[in-house]
Chain A
Amino acid sequence: MFEYLNQPEVIKYIVTIGSMTLLFIGLFGLLTQKHLIKIFISIATMETAIFLFFIGNMFHKDLFAPIITEGFTNVAQMNDPIPQAMILTAIVIGMAVLALGVSMTIEYFKLTGNTEIDKMNEMRH
């Protein structure tokens, strides 16, 4: 069984199905939960799933990390550095937006006293 799981097509199947399942778990949490903090946790889980999908599809077991050191100088066998640079930026920006949303939640709680989205109906009159 170990040799069957080491083939490149099977690894791509595992990565695609796994990260899409994580994305839809996050979507389920976004649609059904009532507390605001749990909605933010679901959004962060969806972002993590997308990063795993990006980096996982570039995997091949003969490549090595894109850093030139003593014994590893063959440039043609390095991993791709462009998706890693983009995902680095995306992780930092996702964290910054999450912090801003959480501080908005704190201010709203100080103003009205509830954190459930069912009871937010100030604009319904």
Chain B
Amino acid sequence: MIGFIILVVFIGVILVALSAIIQPKLADSIILFMGVGLGSVVLFFIFKAPDVALTEAVIGAGISSLIFLMALKHLKAAS
């Protein structure tokens, strides 16, 4: 059962990452990058590494994506 779950989550993360790079608008790209971080948190939890999962959830899917969004506001590309 675990192998099947790992395969499904990996395929999901790869599809979301491919979609994040191809998108023409920048705001969609940043939100999909947040999805890559979320999928990797689930994978870290399945691989029995709780400290790494907590750090990636707080930093990767939290502060890192918010820094990109604040830069987007200054670059006036979201208007």
Taking beta carbons and an 8 Å cutoff, which residues of A are in contact with B? 1-2, 4-7, 10-11, 14-15, 18, 21-22, 25-26, 28-29, 33, 35, 37-38, 40-42, 44-45, 48, 51-52, 55-56, 58-59, 61, 63-65, 67, 79, 84, 87-88, 91-92, 95, 98-99, 102-103, 105-106, 109, 115
Contacts and interface: CB of A to CB of B under 8 A. Distances in A.
B77 to A, nearest CB: 8
7 contacts: A10-B3, A26-B21, A41-B29, A45-B36, A64-B48, A88-B55, A99-B67
Kindly state the interface size class of chain B when it binds its partner: 35 or more
B2 A91 contact: no
Interface of B: 1-4, 6-7, 10-11, 13-14, 17-18, 20-21, 26, 29-30, 33, 36-37, 40, 43-44, 46-52, 55-56, 59-60, 63-64, 67-68, 71-72, 74-75, 77
B36 A48 contact: yes
A16 to B, nearest CB: 11
Given A38-B29, A41-B33, A48-B37, A98 B67 contact: yes
Contacts of B1: 2, 6
A28 B49 CA distance: 29
B51 A88 contact: yes
Given A2-B4, A5-B3, A15-B6, A38 B17 contact: no
